[in-house]
Amino acid sequence: MTKDREGGPTPTGGIRLGSILGFEIRIDLSWFVIFFLVFWSLAVAVFPQQYPELSGRTHLLMGSAGTFLFFASLLAHELSHAVVSRAKGIPVAGITLFMFGGMAWATREPDRPNDEILIAGVGPAMSFALAGLFQALSVAATAYGLGDPVIGVTSYLGFINLALAIFNLVPGFPLDGGRVLRALVWKATGNKAKATRWAVGGGRAFGALLMILGGLQALAGAPVSGLWLVFIGWFLRNLAGASLQQQLLRDLLAGFVAADLMSPQPEVVSTRMPLDELVRAHFMRLRYGSYPCVDQGELVGMVTLEDVKRVPQEQWNRLQVADAMTPLAECAVVAPNTTVEQALQDMNRPKSGGRALVVDRGQLIGIVSASDVTRWIQRLRAVEGLVGRAS
């Protein structure tokens, strides 16, 4: 799976494992649930049923090796997305493994359908290649008499990677197959929004199908695996819906720049103002949640209510704005002609306080906050409604 940054586990959440090929690898806490379930089913059910003559200790060792290599395979799948994405000029913020698999966090969507086909398609291709590799290893292990433990683990990995490749090829967004479907429709019609709606429709339908199959399975006497399928189906349907909302928002904002939706001429404060005065005369009286800070007329940073709250209240009369503010180098600073999509990305960076300062030739000319964006979207929708009724 590849994913743009929104919803679900985030590229900064969970536990950091380290980095591979320059990509930061993290595991979400939900991952431990599935890790344990896979280990348990392998060590206690799958391998003991296939090889009852082997000892319990051997089953545990086989379960450990199988689980570890299964997650290594998953990671290889995500790494293949990340490597191709980076080669196509789209940086990847990191990789997260979580309950339903993995996620490579692309910083934006591809501009060309062909890029999307490559980035999404390489994941299932990698899983097919791993399936072939492990299958070949199990055949070799049989031929050279390497023993049942090696044969059992390698043939399990061949099977699970094949299943992973096929599951990801299902043509429902945001699965890899859904992304490929979207890119093909996009390429054929030239209409990305329409392509997204088709692919999301596929994702919803597949999610519903899984839920029905899971329900039937549960009724037929396999409640655990049945409910698990229902759960995955439900998750896919939600993910598909969230992707559609995000895409519609993107289409709505496309073509607009920071200057269109900024609050112009924001009120500024001096870096020498005592913090208690800032709270009394500004945060308590005016509606703004942040103020650009100036030192002798020059913009040097921004102070938000959150910045002030980090300073113990008994120090507010002794300290000044300069002591609490975020320095300019850490603020999100955009030009008036920066696209709204880019401005939103900058605003979402940690420490930016959820705001972007709009600076034109060294002069502060405006500020964009989350409420500016919300108001702008409401106005756009209202205008679109008017246009819709008039035509």
Decide whether 3 or 237 has the Cβ nearer to Zn ion. 3
Q: How far apart are alpha carbons 85 and 108 in whole angstroms?
A: 10
Q: Among residues 282, 348, 360, 274, which one has the least CA distance to residue 318? A: 274
First to last CA, the chain: 41
Minimum CB separation of residue 183 from Zn ion in Å reads: 14
Minimum CB separation of residue 127 from Zn ion in Å reads: 8
Burial of 204 (0-12, 13-18, 19+ CB in 10 A): buried
Minimum CB separation of residue 388 from Zn ion in Å reads: 38
DSSP string, 293-362: EEETTEEEEEEEHHHHHTS-GGGTTT-BHHHHSEEGGGSEEE-TTSBHHHHHHHHTSTTSTTEEEEEETT
Residue type, 47: F
Minimum CB separation of residue 262 from Zn ion in Å reads: 38
Q: Which stretch binds Zn ion (CB under 5 A): 31-39, 86-94, 119-127, 305-313?
A: 119-127
Decide whether 123 or 202 has the Cβ nearer to Zn ion. 123
Closest residue to Zn ion using C-beta atoms: 123
Decide whether 28 or 176 has the Cβ nearer to Zn ion. 176
Decide whether 167 or 234 has the Cβ nearer to Zn ion. 167
200 in contact with Zn ion (CB under 5 A)? no
Minimum CB separation of residue 103 from Zn ion in Å reads: 9
Decide whether 168 or 271 has the Cβ nearer to Zn ion. 168
Residue 197's alpha-carbon distances to 187, 189, 295, 326, in angstroms, are 14, 13, 50, 41
Minimum CB separation of residue 122 from Zn ion in Å reads: 8
The interface with Zn ion within residues 19-48 (CB under 5 A) comprises none
Minimum CB separation of residue 350 from Zn ion in Å reads: 27
Q: How far apart are alpha carbons 365 and 375 in whole angstroms?
A: 19
Q: Count of residues binding Zn ion (CB under 5 A)?
A: 4
Q: Which stretch binds Zn ion (CB under 5 A): 131-139, 160-168, 253-261, 325-333?
A: 160-168
Residue type, 36: F
Q: How far apart are alpha carbons 197 and 183 in whole angstroms?
A: 12
Minimum CB separation of residue 232 from Zn ion in Å reads: 15
Judged by CB under 5 A, which of 8, 123, 172, 202 binds Zn ion? 123
Q: Which helix (H) or strand (E) holds 199?
A: helix 192-219
1 in contact with Zn ion (CB under 5 A)? yes
Q: Among residues 377, 380, 373, 382, which one has the least CA distance to residue 354? A: 373
Q: CB–CB of 138/158 below 8 Å?
A: yes
Q: CB–CB of 39/68 below 8 Å?
A: no
Decide whether 59 or 179 has the Cβ nearer to Zn ion. 179
Decide whether 1 or 334 has the Cβ nearer to Zn ion. 1
Q: How far apart are alpha carbons 283 and 196 in whole angstroms?
A: 43
Question: Which tokens in the block code for residue 315?
Answer: 């120090």
343 in contact with Zn ion (CB under 5 A)? no
Encoded one letter per residue, x for contact with Zn ion by CB under 5 A and - for no contact, window 167-196 reads -x-------x--------------------
Minimum CB separation of residue 135 from Zn ion in Å reads: 20
Burial of 258 (0-12, 13-18, 19+ CB in 10 A): buried
What residues make contact with Zn ion under the rule CB under 5 A? 1, 123, 168, 176
